[in-house]
Structure 1
Amino acid sequence: MADAKPGIYASLLKHPNVSKQLIDGSKFLHWDDESPSPQAVTLRVDPKGHLLHWRDGSGYIDSLEISNIRDTRTGRSARVPKDTKMKESCALFGSSEALVEDRTVSVIFGQDLVNIQWQNFVATSKPIAQEWCSQLFTLATNSFVNNPSFYDLLERTWTKLSVTRDTEGFISLKNFYKPFASHRDDKKRIDMALSNCGLLSKKVSDEFCITSTY
């Protein structure tokens, strides 16, 4: 035991390598159990592999943490819509040569292994679905992603904020409240801190925070 090298395993933990395809994004149809109809979205992963996020045509953004992904499935194990009209809409999206399930990426996620949810994305082709399914699972099972440092957690929080920028580069103040404020006094402290830093700006009747390059 005297010859043991306690630091040798630390060097094996490396930041995940996010492929260019995931960073640039791909077009998908998104649906879940609560969706009245599938929505066309652009699906992306940030360069550090913290977040899977998507934006629809109206600019609405949703996301989930990569570390909360428990499994990814495509093909026979993927989930397809039970509603006939929704399934037909998915079938008309992209290549008609592949079945809907072969072009579907089902993302199973949750804080634990019991309370899980599904998000489903239909790609334009089978190879794209397979690539995304494989890459997302590799990221989700990366030891570095699942054992973040304090700095990584801060960076992850910042990533959640930065992907909500609008076309003019603003982040809505309400998005700052979500991770940092639990009651009204916290909101006042956030307002004061951002104001003192000169980051608060007015846009129409809502308050926004101007973001700088991170």
Structure 2
Amino acid sequence: MSSLQEGQVIECSQVSDIRGGTPPKESRLAAELEARGSGTLDSRTVTVCSGLDLVNITYNNFVAPNEKTAKAWIQCLRKVTHNFKASNVCPMTSLMKQ
């Protein structure tokens, strides 16, 4: 990865929903993504909804190589983000870790 590429980090406590996504509306991009994997693009797309509140929500879309992988991503991400202990960490514990 070159130094010009940037990444994005999503805080697990800010994730409100993980669901099967919808393919991109741009036809050229959708056709390219459809050709790269096996199965339909609808079944391979995963959408992660996150934000600090319920008004300002960011949607991040991911495309898996196949439908089985997309389902595994959804199940595993839901286990991590909907974990009660992880969602309700004591603020003092977080400060101590920092």
Q: Same-fold call, TM > 0.5?
A: yes
* 2:31 counterpart of 1:85: no
Residues 123 and 144 of structure 1, relative CA distance in 2, 3 Å threshold = same
Q: 5+ unaligned residues in a row in structure 1: which ranges?
A: 1-56, 158-214
Q: Which has the larger radius of gyration?
A: 1
* 2:13 counterpart of 1:67: yes
* 2:60 counterpart of 1:130: no
Instruction: Report runs of 4+ in structure 1 exceeding 2 Å deviation.
Output: 57-61, 149-155
* 2:89 counterpart of 1:148: yes
Q: Which has the higher strand share?
A: 1
Q: Which has the higher helix share?
A: 2
Higher relative contact order (CA 8 A, sep 6+): 2
Matched pairs, number: 95
Residues 133 and 154 of structure 1, relative CA distance in 2, 3 Å threshold = farther
Query: 2: CA distance between counterparts of 1:142 and 1:111?
Result: 18
Query: 2: CA distance between counterparts of 1:154 and 1:60?
Result: 29
TM-score by length of structure 2 reads 0.84
Q: Please provide the CA RMSD for this pair.
A: 1.8
How far residue 135 of structure 1 moved from its aligned partner, in angstroms, is 1.3
TM-score by length of structure 1 reads 0.41
SS of the residue aligned with 2:10? strand
Q: State, as a whole percentage, how many aligned pairs show the same letter.
A: 31
